[in-house]
Amino acid sequence: MLGTVAFQGARGAFSYEACLALRPWNEPKGYETFAEAIAAVASGECECGLIPVENSIVGLLPDPNRLIEEHGLKIVAEAWRPMRQMLMGQPDAKLTDLKTVESHPVALGQCKASVASLGLKPVEAYDTAGAAELVAASGDLSRAAIAPAVAAEIYELKILRADMQDSADNRTRFVVVER
């Protein structure tokens, strides 16, 4: 659909944030998986997609890169964006209450040492903001999420620790793809 930009994730995800910053004239439309977001562009359902393809800590992201190539999409723009990971939990939660932390596997990889230093068990989720949404809905003080600050606002969570990423120079390269 003309005017829409596909992204992987829920409202409040890093890709959602990137859409608002880099494509403010487009309406962001979230998809649960990279495959669904990229297929939406390939089919013409969305005008373009904003897809993360590389991170300064974890390197190239194989799935999105492979899917972009398989669908024959062209990259028309790119931008590196800082990734500031926030640890968030229930409004009444304290760090000492936490037992698990949920997030996208790439985000968990970017925060591995920080998560270990807090003694938290990592739990993989399909998306950073999706994890925040699940944690918020649970009402469980022992569950936390790692996601962008905007997710804490959207899902009414409290940021318990800022800058969970292991590297201060944590950045992700996003590309705009079209048919």
- CA proximity to 64, closest of 174, 170, 148: 174
| Average pLDDT, rounded, for the chain | 93
Percent of the chain's residues with pLDDT above 70: 99
CA dist 127 and 8 (Å) reads 8
CA dist 8 and 21 (Å) reads 16
pLDDT value for 56: 87
> Model confidence over 114-140: pLDDT tens digits?
999 999 999 999 889 999 999 999 999
* Average confidence (pLDDT) over 85-100: 97
Under 8 Å between Cβ of 162 and 86: yes
Active site residues: 172, 174
Residue 1 banded pLDDT, cuts 50, 70, 90: low
Residue 41 banded pLDDT, cuts 50, 70, 90: very high
* Average confidence (pLDDT) over 47-69: 91
> Model confidence over 146-158: pLDDT tens digits?
999 999 999 999 9
The torsion of the CA quartet 73, 75, 81, 87, rounded to 10 degrees, works out to 10
> Is 70 exceeded by the pLDDT of residue 2?
no
